[in-house]
Amino acid sequence: MTERRPNRTLGPDHDTFWAYCNQGEFRLQQCNTCSKIQWPPTPMCNECLSDEFTWTPMSGRATINTYCTFERPYYKECPPPWEAILVELEEGPLFMSNPKGFSVEGKERGTPVKVTFLDCEDDAGPFKLPVFELAD
Partner 1 sequence: MANRVVEHDRLKKLKDTVAVVGVGESDYVGDYRSGAKGNAAEKGSGALNSYQLAATALKRALDDAGLTKDDIDGLVVGGPMSTERTCEVLGINASWCVSGDAPRGIIAAVQAINAGLCHTVALVYGNAQRSMNTQYGGPQAMGGDGILSYVYYAPWGMTSQGGLYSMMFRRHQLVYGTTEEQLGAVSVAFRKHASMNPNAIMKERFTIEDYMNSRYISEPFHLFDYCLINDGGVAFIIQRRDMANGKQIPINISGIGWSEMDIDSTQLRPRLKDFYLPAHHAVREQVYPMAGYGPKDVDVYATYDSFSTHLLFSLEGFGFCEPGEGGAFIQDGRIEIGGEIPCNTSGGMLSESYMQSWNHQPELVRQLRHQYAGTEREVKGAEVGQYVHDVAGKCLSVIYTRGN
Binding site for partner 1 (CB under 8 A): 5-9, 39-40, 46, 65-72, 74-75, 77-78, 81-82, 84, 86, 88, 93-98, 108-109, 120, 122, 129, 131
Binding partner at 33 among Zn ion, partner 1, none, C-beta below 5 to 8 Å by kind = Zn ion
Q: How far is the CB of 42 from Zn ion (least distance, A)?
A: 10
- CB 136 to partner 1: min, Å: 22
Q: CB under 8 Å to 104, separation ≥6 — which residues?
A: 64, 67, 69, 83, 85
103 binds Zn ion (CB under 5 A): no
d(CA 82, CA 61): 23
**Sign of the torsion formed by the C-alpha atoms of 72, 77, 79 and 85:** negative
Residue 13's alpha-carbon distances to 3, 66, 84, 125, in angstroms, are 24, 27, 24, 18
Q: Which is nearer to Zn ion, 32 or 69 (CB)?
A: 32
Contacting positions for Zn ion (CB under 5 A): 31, 33-34, 36, 45, 47-48, 50
